[in-house]
Each structure stands twice: as C-alpha cells, then as structure tokens.
C-alpha cells in the first residue's frame, strides 16, 4: 500500500499519439498495408524516443508516452511530429498532452491526468496537437506558436478544461488532407490551382469516398 501511495505522488507529462487514418487504410487497402504503415510509425517513435523513455504502451496504432516534464515532452515530440510530417507514407498524426499527478503501477500510468490526455487526443483533428495549460506555457516559453481554444467539456471529466493547440510541426491545410486515409499532400506538385471538393492521394481513396461520403467527413 505504501508503494502505491508514494507512486501516486509522482507527476508526469502524458502524451497519446495515433495515426488519424489508420482504420481507413485497413478498410481500403487491406490489413497488410495497414501493418506496413504501423511498422513505419512504430520505428519512427522508437527512433525519436531513443534518448528518452520508451512508450508506456501501444493500443493499436496509438502510443502512450510519458515524460518527466512538459519541456522534455515538447522537445521529443517536436522531433517526432516533424519527422512524421515529412514521411509521405504516413497519414497525419493526432496528439494530446497533459501534465499532472499520476499513479505508477507495473510499468503503466493511471489517474485523471492520463484520462484527460486520452480524451484530448480523441478531440484532435488530423495533424493537430492539443494540450492543457502547463504544456502550452512551456511551449510559449520556447517561442512555439500556440492558440488558445478556450475551455472544453471532456467525457467523464468534472468541469471544463482549458485547451490549447501547439504547432510543433507545420499546420496541415484541410484542403489537402485526404478525407479517407488522412494523408496530406506532401509536395506542392500534388496541389491544384483551385481545389474543388476533397483531394485524394489515390483512386482507391476517391472510390471509397464516392461510395460512402458520410463515412469520411470532409473538412
């Protein structure tokens, strides 16, 4: 019991990061293609965290990460998210961060800090990083662009939480995000002078969208 109590006094910056279009990649291109994408992502996460703590765990295509403090999280994720954005084989990532007290048990983390980080990640749009105030303050101190999104209500969380968008990688232009697989047009040659409707990375994604546009909201 005393060991659990002492673990509860620890604090950490908790991050959840996943691939926004992973499920659609499996549906449209097949499980083998999805696993190939996941292996690329896992390799990039391992490389970016080589000087830090490895992921706490993987939940499908989502990695749960932990850092001692917001400044270290920003440094590590800045490297990872920029690398992911430059990798044309990956869809856009979604990331949520929170800092606060955690309970450490059997190599895992528990508590409201973890729950809030997970809820925030679920709110993030493709290519977006959302975070709470301690993370935003650390980012602002480093001259990183942040945007105050106001307070939001999170499922199973009492009260509203101030939320911020932090630009650790170039922001994604919604006009050039494939609504199916969430790939982002990586080079200017992919772009059209006057886009009409969604951009698609391939005919297969376009076909999937035409068959079921309600499944893949375009925004």
**Model confidence pLDDT, tens digit, residues 178-210:** 999 999 986 555 555 556 788 899 999 999 999
Q: Cα–Cα distance between 121 and 140 in angstroms, integer?
A: 20
What are 90-140's pLDDT values in tens digits? 999 999 999 999 999 998 999 999 999 999 999 999 999 999 999 999 999
Q: Which pLDDT score, from 0 to 100, does residue 2 have? A: 42
pLDDT above 70 covers a percentage of the chain that reads 90
**Contact predicate 28/208, CB 8 Å:** yes
Closest CA to 166 of 50, 89, 73: 73
Question: 25 is written with which tokens?
Answer: 């990649």
What are 202-212's pLDDT values in tens digits? 999 999 999 99
* pTM across the whole model: 0.90
Closest CA to 18 of 55, 53, 73: 55
CB contact set of 103 (below 8 Å; sequence gap of 6+): 4, 7, 8, 10, 109, 110, 111
What are 65-89's pLDDT values in tens digits? 999 999 999 999 999 999 999 998 9
**Contact predicate 93/22, CB 8 Å:** no
């Amino acid at each position: 019991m005393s060991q659990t109590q002492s673990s509860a006094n620890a604090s950490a910056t908790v991050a959840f990061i996943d691939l926004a279009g992973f499920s659609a990649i499996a549906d449209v291109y097949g499980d083998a293609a999805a696993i190939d994408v996941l292996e690329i992502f896992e390799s990039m996460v391992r490389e970016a965290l080589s000087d830090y703590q490895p992921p706490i765990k993987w939940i499908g295509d989502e990695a749960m990460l932990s850092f001692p403090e917001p400044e270290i999280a920003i440094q590590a994720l800045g490297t990872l998210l920029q690398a992911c954005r430059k990798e044309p084989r990956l869809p856009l990532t979604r990331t949520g961060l929170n800092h606060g007290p955690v309970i450490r048990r059997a190599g895992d983390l528990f508590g409201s800090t973890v729950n809030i980080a997970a809820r925030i990640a679920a709110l993030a749009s493709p290519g977006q990083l959302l975070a709470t105030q301690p993370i935003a303050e650390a980012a602002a101190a480093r001259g990183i662009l942040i945007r105050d999104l106001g307070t939001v209500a999170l499922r199973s969380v009492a009260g509203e939480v101030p939320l911020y968008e932090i630009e650790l990688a170039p922001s994604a232009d919604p006009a050039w995000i494939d609504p199916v697989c969430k790939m982002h047009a990586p080079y200017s040659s992919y772009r059209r002078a006057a886009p009409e409707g969604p951009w698609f990375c391939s005919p297969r994604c376009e076909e999937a969208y035409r068959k079921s546009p309600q499944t893949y909201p375009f925004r």
